[in-house]
Structure 1
Amino acid sequence: MTIEHVRAVCRSNWEYRGIDDASVREMLAELTAHLEDAAAAGRTPQDVVGPDVRAFAASWARARMPLHRRALRMAAMVPFVVGGLLLVSHLLHRTTVVDIDAGRLAFWLSIGVVTVVLELRRGTIGFGKGWIVALVVGLPVLFVTERLFGEETLFLLPLWVSALLTLPGIGYLVAERRRVPRPEES
């Protein structure tokens, strides 16, 4: 195991978990300093990070973004995603009121659960594989629930409620965007 290997595994893990580029660079610089100091003292990279580099990187990432911050992010992002899906539904059906039946409710709940699980596991849901997994889980739940309970309307959801659900996520995204330094500032 070389210093370059440890750095590559850690970088990959941290980027996968959604840690911003500036933090990744800072963490890599700190890790490199520790690894070089250990090498100068005659120790191997494995002595510094332990036998499982991925576990080391994951624990450092969790320390960088603790559970309470991830929970706050989830509390903002899950309603944002649901509100966004509802807004798309309003747009596609060209209506100011969406009918909520058992199938739709189960679909959104399953997507919310998958989002929370991925968030807790990875630190971020991302816009790639995470959403594919959420849809792969959500769509069968939708079809099974509709088959079991039918398509009877449980309640009507007005457009303003859908828009209101997106507000916490928008606020969080704006705050997150302001926190990340621009390339010319780095």
Structure 2
Amino acid sequence: MTIERVLAVCRSNWEYRGIDDASVREMLDELTAHLEDAAAAGRSPQDVVGDDVPAFAASWARARVPLSRRLVRMAAMVSFMAGVLLLLSHLTRWTLDVGVTPGRLAFWLGIVVVTVALELRRGSLGLGKGWLVGLVVGVPAALATERLLGDEPLFLVPLWATLLLALPGLAYAHAERRASRDR
């Protein structure tokens, strides 16, 4: 992999993660200096960044973006996805109130926990493979919970509460969709 390709992958990754332009330029300048120094010493770009350039870029982005900002973004995206799942329940059942059963709650929690763990490890919280793995965990969790605890609703969620739940993550979801389309 060439120096230009490493820089392009890192730039794309950092822009996708929402790092501001000034910080991206500063990070690229610093990385360029490291890569050029390594090239002058006869080393390849992989000797500096490793074999997995996106993972390198993600780890640098995590170090650059404060934890509090990442946590706020994660909470907004989890809230958004919970709202979307509830909205799908409203739409498929044609009802203004959705009953949340123990199995449904276990299903959602399984998806959220696995997805957050996998996506944060990867450095992002988008609609990646983590959701599929979450489904594989969520379905058996829902079935086991329904069998153990029954299917009586724990509480009802009105449509207006579902829409409010999805609202905080809407801006992040839109930004991620736009960033993936621009790439």
TM-score scaled by length of structure 1: 0.74
Say if 2:61 is the partner of 1:35. Answer: no
Name the structure 1 match of 2:167: 167
Take 2:32 and 2:101, find their aligned partners in 1: how far apart are those partners?
A: 54
- The structure-2 alpha-carbon separation of the partners of 1:7 and 1:33, relative to structure 1 and needing over 3 Å to count, comes to same
Contact 1:78 1:115 in 2 (8 A): no
Contact 1:110 1:134 in 2 (8 A): yes
Contact 1:103 1:143 in 2 (8 A): yes
Name the structure 2 match of 1:7: 6
Q: Deviations over 1:62-99 (max 9, x none)?
A: 22334322211111010110011101110110000001
Opposite residue 44 of structure 1, the aligned amino acid is R
Take 1:155 and 1:95, find their aligned partners in 2: how far apart are those partners?
A: 15
Question: Secondary structure at the residue paired with 1:153?
Answer: coil
- The structure-2 alpha-carbon separation of the partners of 1:48 and 1:22, relative to structure 1 and needing over 3 Å to count, comes to farther
Equivalent runs, 1:151-162 vs 2, <5 Å: 151-162=151-162
Opposite residue 11 of structure 1, the aligned amino acid is V
Q: Deviations over 1:97-147 (max 9, x none)?
A: 001110011111112212321232112233231211111111111111111
Contact 1:49 1:56 in 2 (8 A): no
Q: Percent identity?
A: 53
Q: CA deviation at 1:28?
A: 5.1
Stretch deviating more after TM superposition (140-149 or 164-173): 164-173
Take 2:173 and 2:111, find their aligned partners in 1: how far apart are those partners?
A: 20
Q: Which runs of 5+ in 1 are unaligned?
A: none
Q: Which runs of 5+ in 2 are unaligned?
A: none
Q: Deviations over 1:12-42 (max 9, x none)?
A: 8x7499536986x8455652343123323x2
Take 1:21 and 1:103, find their aligned partners in 2: how far apart are those partners?
A: 39
Name the structure 1 match of 2:97: 97
Contact 2:13 2:57 in 1 (8 A): no
Question: Secondary structure at the residue paired with 2:154?
Answer: strand
Opposite residue 7 of structure 1, the aligned amino acid is V
Take 1:74 and 1:36, find their aligned partners in 2: how far apart are those partners?
A: 36
Name the structure 2 match of 1:106: 106
Opposite residue 124 of structure 1, the aligned amino acid is S
Name the structure 2 match of 1:81: 81
RMSD: 3.7
Take 1:111 and 1:16, find their aligned partners in 2: how far apart are those partners?
A: 26
